[in-house]
Amino acid sequence: MEEAARIKCRCPLLGDDDRCLLYQARPITCRLYGVPTAIAGQGHVCGFAAFEKGKSYPTVYLDKIQSRLEDLSREIGRTVNSRFRELHEVYVPLSMALITNYDEAYLGIGPAKPEK
């Protein structure tokens, strides 16, 4: 992840005018760009931001967000009575989440269908 962060490339969602084509529906990664974040207690900021070293800034604690999302996933699993007890551990990239059919089979609702 750190190596990927060092590689600078133009966002594929920037139009010819350098404006975001997805701005109104942009993912959280884009919404947080440049905002100080913390992962596993380690702070991260954009290298281009003008944050002063050693000064305190409001920070988004991504571990807390991740934990809450896992709690919500557990709750959904219990509510739909999923047979998949570890459903909350399934991480789906946004690109896959948009095309996934979250039907009863995917969510583990009801008895498992026999394999053919």
Say whether pLDDT at 8 is over 70.
Answer: no
pLDDT over 90 percentage in the chain: 23
**Residue 92: half-sphere exposure toward Cβ, Cα within 13 Å:** 16
Which SS3 state, helix, strand or coil, does residue 99 take?
Answer: helix
Over residues 57-79, the pLDDT tens digits come to 889 998 998 899 999 999 999 99
- 6-12 long-range CB contacts below 8 Å, 24 or more apart? none
Say whether pLDDT at 97 is over 60.
Answer: yes
Q: In this structure, are strands 37-39 and 60-61 parallel, antiparallel, or unpaired?
A: parallel
Lateral strand order in the sheet of 60-61: 42-44, 37-39, 60-61
Q: Where are the domains of the chain?
A: 2-107
pTM above 0.85, yes or no: no
> Which amino acid, one-letter code, is at 40?
A
Q: Residue 2: which pLDDT band, with cuts at 50, 70 and 90?
A: low
Q: Could you give the CA distance from residue 92 to residue 95 in angstroms, rounded to a whole number?
A: 8
